[in-house]
A and B are shown apart, each in its own frame.
Chain A
Amino acid sequence: MENKKQLYTVSIYTENNVGLLNRISAIFQRRKINIESINSSVSEIDGVSRWSIIVEVSKEQIRKIIGQIEKQVEVIRAFYHTDEETIYQESCLFKIKSDLLFEDLQIQNIIKKSHARIVMVNQEFFVLEKSGRKSEVELLYHELKPFGIMQFVRSGRIAVTKDQLKISTLLEAFNA
């Protein structure tokens, strides 16, 4: 089963330094692995960044890749998790013509049913925001597509793990 490909969420805690994106993405590029999505943000620890990288690879590959990522000087720790081991979300924005909102009642039903949120409306267009799993976001996209979408954008996945990652303990040990 080591060779079966599946989606993994790679979570990386790093120092917040210029050039680290290059260094980490190169690890995937070198193995010709496509990054499905990537997100970098602050983490629960001041001054420490957290990355969420989604890739479809085998367990054997991901294990080795984590080793290569952790080896980088500016990386504090790296982890990999399957979908079952994480709570994850994506977010998306739709820009749609405002006329539709008034002319076609069906679109209002779709918005209600999807638990999407209208972020802003003006005379020309309105912006709809939806968070959820990729499948939910995709469903909404397909439902809205026939009406005409002026712009669509989806964020990378962000995820927290069900188990503890104990980064703070690790950093405290350094300061001790």
Chain B
Amino acid sequence: METQILKEKRTVHKTKERITGCEAIVKCLLAEGVDVLYGYPGGTIMPAYDILHKCQDKIRHVLTRHEQGAAHAAQGYARISGKVGVAIATSGPGATNLVTGITDAHVDSTPMVCITGQVASHLLGSDAFQETDIVSISTPVTKWNHQITKASEIPEVIAKAFYIAKSGRPGPVLIDITKDAQFEEFDFEYEKCTGIRSYNPAPNVVTTAVQKAARLINDAEKPMIIWGQGVILGEAEEELKAVIEKTGIPAAWTILGASAIPTSHPLNVGMVGMHGNYAPNKLTNECDVLIAIGMRFDDRVTGDLATYAKQAKVIHFEIDPSEIDKNVKAHVAVLGNAKESLQRLLPLLTEKSYPKWHQQFKELYRIEFEKVIDKDLNPVKERLTMGEVLKEINTQSKGKAAIVSDVGQHQMIACRYAQFNETKSNITSGGLGTMGFALPAAVGAKMAAPERDVIAIIGDGGYQMTIQELGTILQTKVAVKIVVLNNDFLGMVRQWQQLFFDKRYASTELVNPDFVNIAKGYFIKAKRVTKRKELSASVKEMMEYRGPYFLEVSVEKEDNVFPMIPSGASVSEIRLS
């Protein structure tokens, strides 16, 4: 039975032209404003690649060295630009290699469209060469997915893919297109998708909810804001700034919310969560009103839920209704897009200041500075710390660089200490914690924002998970700066082994290759720093160099990241050592 793919609203009619499915794919991408896509060719996607080759002047294809790299590059592109990132791969292993990146995008709400080739429709289910059921495999990790077996479906499905990926709470969409559909001729016309009847991207902001929220905020004595990536995805940075500046409420951020408000803003009180700052974590359990904006109370943020902010009235601004009361019960839920919600909230708020409350934040910051931050940033010991490398990068980049971090200790250090002056400057794998994310994501980020400095901060473990993307950097000459903070350990796992497994360092010590020579093998300018006195000049050289640059910094082997909320403990039990 023929079924319409989704009941949808579409606009403007265009004249039809007779073309093949693979020509249609490229035309659709161009119509959606795609200027670059990341991918890897193979048997079933070759027809589409043939058209990409013919259209090189209009659309750039970047050949990564692994499909996982293509997916992460598309993510990096999306995260820095706010546009939909696009990855393309062949069937079978090409498609399955995308899955980690798709999952990462799903957990971190990144708009992405992945196109995979599929065996010809008559071979479906026959265990044909490089046939895999990627639609089933990707179902739980995509916002939407669909298999196309007829060329005529291509425009409609791709239009929906872009609409779904970008609207509401963004996410990845996978489109699987059989080889025969790519070859088939049909009458092409393209219309952008503007609505789907079964899908409501963003609930309407309800006035009474905003009024209730405003009353609670105005009556609060110790209010605190925690904002998340919803502010960045909803482009509500200015609105958030206006709210905190009018009310004087201390505002903290989740790892993915970082950079929405400049680090130096006096009302920015730092990061919450497992390795977040001491004050906002501790005071989460002292505030009387907790205002959560575009964040989802991840377990790495809340620690033990039974002891999380129990004293507080919780106001939750959220675009995704399924997040309300999922982890933390909201006394007031304001559904809808963060920008509109905050715009409507602002006039209802009274101007206030909370000097005594802020004093509590300052006092706890002072303690954290003495016990942790000062030692990280201004160490007196012989070996370099990750923190001082970040401090040097801040100085040299003047806080303007986009920091792309991988996963582990260096990531926590990067998020804790990087100075962010611009929004969309912190690109990291938050929810999924995908080692290997940073190098390819930095490639995508730099291509989307060539005018910005893009610095990948990576550990020696994660770097080797996608190190082959140095080949992509070589081929494209994309001017990313790569900083590997090398402690010859899988540092975060080692830290846990030290703290919770009696220092039994099971499979966490790495025997590493000569990273500088490897980079040089890819004709990338490279340098290794082992001494403090060399650090500043080396970072300067990296920042001033016009092309890609690799900097390995050999750091203290067994440093730990603090503060730390032990897994399953309360935010109040945050440790400084």
A: residues with CB less than 8 A from B are 14-19, 22-23, 26, 30, 47, 63-64, 67-68, 70-71, 73-76, 171, 174-175
A71 with B139, Cβ < 8 A, contacts A14-B198, A18-B147, A174-B195 known? no
- Decide: A26 near B6, CB < 8 A? Known: A64-B322, A73-B144, A73-B199: no
Q: Which chain A residues border B321 with CB–CB below 8 Å?
A: 67, 70-71
Nearest chain-B residue to A173 (Cβ)? Answer: B197
Q: Which applies to chain A's interface (DSSP): helix, strand, loop or mixed? A: helix
The 14 sampled A-B contact pairs (Cβ below 8 Å) are A16-B3, A17-B5, A18-B3, A19-B145, A22-B139, A47-B3, A47-B4, A47-B7, A64-B322, A70-B321, A73-B143, A73-B164, A74-B199, A174-B195
Cα distance A171–B196 when bound, in Å?
11
Provide the B1-33 mask, 1 if CB < 8 A to any CB of A, else 0: 001111101000000000000000000000000
A19 to B199 CA separation, bound complex (whole angstroms):
17
**B-chain residues with CB within 8 Å of residue A174 when the two chains form the complex:** 7, 9, 195, 197
Q: A22-B139, A26-B139 are in contact. Are A73 and B326 (CB under 8 A)?
A: no
Find chain A residues with CB under 8 A from B196 CB.
73
Counting CB contacts under 8 A, is B140 at the interface? Answer: yes
CB proximity of A132 to chain B, nearest CB, Å = 32
- A73-B143, A73-B199 given as contacts; is B6 within 8 A of A15 (CB)? yes
Q: Which residues of the other chain, A, contact B322 by a CB distance below 8 angstroms?
A: 64, 67-68, 70-71
| CA distance in complex: A76, B196 (Å) | 10
CA distance A14 to B3 in the complex (A): 13
Q: Which of B4, B144, B326 sits near A67, CB closer than 8 Å?
A: B326
Residues of B within 8 A of A (CB): 3-7, 9, 135-136, 139-140, 143-147, 164, 195-199, 320-326
Chain A residues with Cβ below 8 Å from B146 are: 19
A26-B135 contact in complex given A15-B198, A16-B3, C-beta closer than 8 Å: no
Residues of B contacting A17 in the complex (Cβ-Cβ under 8 angstroms): 3, 5-6
Q: Which residues of B contact A23 (CB under 8 A)?
A: 139-140
Q: Smallest distance from the beta carbon of B479 to chain A beta carbons, Å? A: 38
Q: Of all chain B residues, which has the CB nearest A23?
A: B139
- B198/A71 in contact, CB under 8 A: no
Given contacts A18-B147, A64-B325, A76-B197, 12 further A-B contacts (CB under 8 A): A19-B135, A19-B146, A22-B139, A47-B7, A64-B326, A67-B322, A73-B196, A73-B198, A74-B198, A74-B199, A76-B198, A174-B197
B9, B320, B321, B322 pick with most chain A CB within 10 angstroms: B322
Instruction: Verify B320–A71 contact, CB threshold 8 A.
Output: yes
The distance in angstroms between the C-alpha atoms of A75 and B324, with both chains bound, is: 19
Contact B197 A171 (CB under 8 A): yes
CB distance from A76 to the nearest CB of B (A): 5
Q: How far is the CB of B177 from chain A (nearest CB, A)?
A: 15
| Chain A residues, CB < 8 A from B5 | 17
Chain A residue nearest in CB terms to B321: A67
Most chain B CB within a 10 A radius of its CB, from A16, A67, A68 = A67
* Minimum Cβ distance to chain A for residue B10 (Å): 13
Contact between B135 and A73, CB atoms less than 8 A apart: no
- Residues of chain B within 8 A (CB-CB) of A171 are 197
User: Which residues of chain A have C-beta atoms less than 8 A from B6's C-beta?
Assistant: 15, 17, 73-74
Which residues does chain B contribute within 8 Å of A75, judged by CB atoms?
A: 198
Q: Once the chains are docked, how many angstroms separate the CA of A150 from the CA of B331?
A: 58
Give the chain B neighbours of A22 by CB distance below 8 A. 136, 139
Q: Is the CB of B325 within 8 A of A63?
A: yes
Nearest CB to that of B197 among chain A residues? A174
Measured CA separation A17–B199 after assembly (Å): 14
Most buried by A among B144, B164, B199: B199
Contact partners of B323 in chain A: CB under 8 A: 67
B453 to chain A, nearest CB (A): 37
Q: Which residue of A lies closest to B146 (CB)?
A: A19
Q: For A175, what are the chain B residues with a Cβ–Cβ distance below 8 Å?
A: 197
10 interchain residue pairs of minimum CB distance: A67-B322, A174-B197, A26-B140, A73-B144, A76-B198, A73-B199, A71-B322, A22-B139, A23-B139, A15-B198
> Which of A47, A71, A76 has the largest number of chain B CB atoms within 10 A?
A71
Report the nearest B residue to A174, measured CB to CB.
Answer: B197
Complex alpha-carbon distance, A114 and B152, angstroms: 54
A61 to B5, CA, bound (A): 31
Q: Which residues of B contact A30 (CB under 8 A)?
A: 140
Closest chain B residue, CB of each to CB of A170 = B197
**Cα distance A68–B326 in the bound complex, in angstroms:** 10
Let me know if A19 and B198 touch, CB within 8 A. Answer: no
Distance A89 CA – B164 CA, assembled complex (angstroms): 37
* A130–B9 CA distance with the chains assembled, in angstroms: 45
**Residue ID in chain A nearest B9 by CB atoms:** A174
CA distance A175 to B5 in the complex (A): 17
CB-nearest residue of chain A to B142: A23
Complex partner residue of A19 from B9, B139, B320, CB under 8 angstroms: B139
Could you say which residues of chain A place their CB within 8 Å of the CB of B144?
73-74
Q: Which residues from chain B contact A26 at a C-beta distance below 8 Å?
A: 139-140
Complex: A76 Cα to B140 Cα, angstroms: 18
Interchain nearest-CB distance for B150 vs A (Å)? 13
Q: What is the minimal beta-carbon distance from A146 to any residue of chain B, in angstroms?
A: 44
Assuming the contacts A23-B139, A73-B143, asked whether A15 and B7 have C-beta atoms less than 8 A apart, the reply is yes
B320 contacts across to A, CB distance below 8 A? 71
Residues on B with C-beta less than 8 A from A68 are 322
B136 contact set on A, CB distance < 8 A: 19, 22
Chain A residues near B198 (CB-CB < 8 A): 14-15, 73-76
Task: Report the separation of the CA atoms of residues A23 and B324 in the bound assembly, to the nearest whole angstrom.
Answer: 22
How long is the Cα–Cα vector from A15 to B197 in the complex, in angstroms? 9
Chain A residue with the shortest CB-CB distance to B327: A64
